[in-house]
Amino acid sequence: MDTKRSIILAAVLLVLISFLTVSLAEAGWVGGYTRRDGTYVQPHYRSNPDGNPYNNYNFPGNYNPNTGTTTPGNPNTYLDRYYDRPDTRSYGPYNGLQWQYNY
């Protein structure tokens, strides 16, 4: 009975450790790097990616506890970049600015 209980306990611990390792691997410190276009990105902390742009530290208006600042900027511009929508503005037949997104 003790051997069976030990095996079950070891299996449960192994599963818990694997979940924690995966979770912690996604968040944390990101070292500086250079993008393909030559832009250098400073080292920074990042949160776990979850596909929700509104709860990211760098979403305009959100507070970043790592830097102690509120992120400035335009939420619409951030969302365009987040979803990789090109900014293709054109003037339409009504002489008004029209937005076109190429999906």
Could you tell me if residue 76 is inside a domain? yes
Could you tell me if residue 54 is inside a domain? yes
List, for residues 63-103, the tens digit of each pLDDT value.
Answer: 988 889 999 999 999 998 888 876 555 444 544 444 454 44
Domains contained in the chain, number = 1
51 within 8 A of 26, measured Cβ to Cβ? no
98 within 8 A of 82, measured Cβ to Cβ? no
H/E element, 30:
strand 28-30
- Among 73, 74, 30, 31, residue whose Cα is nearest residue 48: 30
List, for residues 9-52, the tens digit of each pLDDT value.
Answer: 888 877 777 665 555 556 788 999 999 999 999 998 887 878 89
Could you tell me if residue 30 is inside a domain? no
Could you tell me if residue 20 is inside a domain? no
Tokens standing for residue 81:
């970049």
Domain encompassing residue 55: 50-100
Could you tell me if residue 11 is inside a domain? no
Tally Cβ neighbours within 10 Å of residue 79: 14
Torsion of CA 98, 85, 44, 68, to 10 degrees: 30
- pLDDT tops 90 at residue 61: yes
| DSSP letter, residue 51 | S
Could you tell me if residue 78 is inside a domain? yes
